[in-house]
């Protein structure tokens, strides 16, 4: 039975860690991202981002969309950890600490440091003639586990990645083969090889405390991921963000759009911009409302400036079907400057959808121009 447990628990931990790794098929999608976003998703926020959030992020098509989504995720992660707006700065400090301590931000030790924060104390075994390299990490308090938590990392054979030890592996996995054989053949505890270590007393106390925490594989695996604050599904933050994103559905049939824009005036320091989206009516699905044939269109827009999204909106238009072309009118109030507008129009009653982008300037019209327009015969 004990042998079965020793085999099963490492497999449990491996499965738990594998479950939070990105699917292999996403590697090609990540390579399509700009370099800074590749680093962000694979080397920085990888312990924080869920599978659903990652999939949603990889569907985004512009830096403005990615930046807006990232801001939403930081807000969510801050709430999940209980640190609020301070969490982002705390996390970047942890990233820098990983670079200084490990030379990288990935790997199991880095992942746990990023999630849990730096330990209050680290003790390393220097008894290299007996043990593989060992690191004991101590926290006075960990929300996921409790008080006075000690976990042990070890590096098998002194090379390769550091692993998180659990007591079901047995102490044998920590000893060098010759030292373990000597331990088995020792005629008394005094002859045990660990007694050759100058810090043997401290080492054995720490190992005993690591064994205390080691039998709980669920707690150990929870150390490497963020506690979930929401369930995946249509009401998740990722799904809601995607609903308000100007992205085409995978099965969309093309729908041609054109946009005309003009400033109407200025109010409270913002320019009142009018937009008209024109499309062919004969391509749209129909629905009967009473005696009237109508079309229903879902319009999502994103306004960005210098790669950062400054406005997002969504309108649902239900209008009588036109014989030729249909014009959808809406207005937005924007501060003066140069912008890019991205609009998606999706037909509710068919699979047609289209996206178009246009650059525009929100330029205030002069009071004289405003007066002329208002009083033109």
Question: CA 57: distance to chain centroid?
Answer: 8
- CA 77 from chain centre, in angstroms, equals 9
Q: Are strands 352-362 and 253-254 parallel, antiparallel or unpaired?
A: parallel
Residues forming a β-bridge with 356: 343
What distance in Å separates the CA atoms of residue 21 and residue 29, rounded to the nearest whole number? 15
Mean pLDDT value across residues 112-130: 93
CA nearest to 169, candidates 154, 157, 181: 154
Instruction: Give, rounded to a whole angstrom, the gap between the first and last alpha carbons of the chain.
Output: 94
- CA 306/CA 235 separation, integer angstroms: 30
Residue 313 DSSP class: E
Residue 358, pLDDT > 90, answer yes
Q: How far is CA 333 from the centre of its chain?
A: 31
DSSP state of 231: -
pLDDT number for residue 116: 92
Has residue 232 got a pLDDT over 70? no
**Can you tell me the distance from the alpha carbon of 284 to that of 352, in angstroms, rounded to the nearest whole number?**
7
Q: Take residue 234 and report the two structure tokens written for it.
A: 């249509």
The reported pTM is 0.73
pLDDT tens figures, 305-356: 988 889 989 999 999 888 888 999 999 999 999 999 999 999 998 888 999 9
List the alpha helices (DSSP H) in 141-193.
177-185
Edge-to-edge strand list for the sheet holding 134-142: 121-124, 134-142, 146-154, 163-164
For residue 6, name the pLDDT band (cuts at 50, 70, 90): very low
Q: Which residues contact 18 (CB under 8 A, 6 or more apart)?
A: none
Tokens of 207: 């190992």
What does the pLDDT read at residue 16?
A: 44
* 106: pLDDT strictly greater than 90: yes
Beta 308-320 vs 270-280: how paired, if at all? unpaired
Average pLDDT value for the chain? 84
For residue 121, count other CB atoms closer than 10 A to its CB: 11
- Residue 182, both tokens: 């000597």
Which helix (H) or strand (E) is 10 found in, with range?
helix 2-19
- Beta strand residue intervals within the chain, DSSP E: 121-124, 134-142, 146-154, 163-164, 253-254, 258-267, 270-280, 287-289, 292-305, 308-320, 325-334, 337-347, 352-362
Q: Closest by alpha carbon to 80, among 237, 227, 224?
A: 227
Fold (CATH) for 247-375: Immunoglobulin-like (2.60.40)
The whole-number average pLDDT for the span 138-167 is: 89
Residue 233 has pLDDT above 80, yes or no: no
Segments making up each domain of the chain, as ranges = 2-222, 247-375
What sign does the dihedral 18-24-27-30 (CA atoms) show? negative
d(CA 62, CA 51): 20
pLDDT of 24 reads 58
> By the 8 A CB rule, do 208 and 200 touch?
no
Residue 291 has a pLDDT of 81
């Amino acid at each position: 039975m004990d042998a079965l447990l020793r085999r099963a628990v490492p497999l449990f931990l491996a499965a738990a860690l594998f479950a939070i790794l990105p699917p292999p098929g996403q590697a090609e999608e990540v390579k399509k991202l700009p370099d800074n976003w590749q680093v962000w998703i694979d080397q920085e926020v990888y312990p924080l981002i869920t599978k659903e959030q990652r999939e949603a992020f990889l569907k985004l098509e512009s830096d403005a969309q990615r930046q807006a989504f990232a801001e939403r995720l930081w807000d969510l992660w801050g709430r999940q950890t209980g640190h609020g707006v301070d969490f982002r700065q705390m996390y970047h400090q942890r990233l820098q600490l990983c670079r200084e301590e490990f030379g990288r931000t990935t790997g199991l030790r880095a992942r746990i440091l990023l999630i849990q924060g730096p330990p209050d104390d680290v003790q390393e075994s220097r008894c290299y003639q007996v043990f593989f390299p060992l690191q004991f990490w101590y926290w006075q308090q960990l929300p996921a586990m409790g008080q006075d938590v000690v976990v042990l990392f070890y590096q098998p054979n002194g090379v390769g990645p550091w692993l998180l030890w659990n007591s079901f592996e047995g102490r044998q996995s920590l000893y060098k083969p010759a030292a373990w054989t000597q331990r088995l053949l020792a005629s008394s505890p005094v002859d045990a090889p660990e007694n050759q270590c100058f810090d043997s007393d401290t080492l054995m106390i720490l190992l005993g405390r690591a064994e205390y925490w080691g039998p709980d594989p669920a707690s150990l695996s929870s150390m490497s991921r963020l506690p979930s604050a929401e369930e995946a599904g249509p009401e998740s933050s990722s799904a809601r963000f995607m609903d308000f994103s100007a992205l085409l559905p995978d099965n969309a049939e093309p729908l041609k759009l054109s946009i005309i824009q003009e400033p109407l005036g200025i109010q409270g320091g913002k320019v009142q911009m009018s937009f008209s989206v024109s499309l062919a009516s004969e391509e749209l699905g129909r629905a009967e409302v009473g005696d009237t044939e109508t079309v229903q269109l879902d319009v999502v827009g994103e306004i960005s400036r210098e790669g950062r999204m400054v406005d997002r909106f969504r309108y649902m238009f239900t209008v009588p079907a036109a014989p030729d072309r249909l014009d959808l009118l809406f207005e937005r109030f924007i501060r003066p400057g140069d912008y890019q507008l991205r609009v998606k129009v999706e037909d509710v009653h068919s699979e047609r959808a289209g996206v178009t982008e246009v650059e525009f300037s929100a330029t205030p019209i002069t009071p004289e121009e405003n007066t002329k327009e208002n009083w033109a015969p």
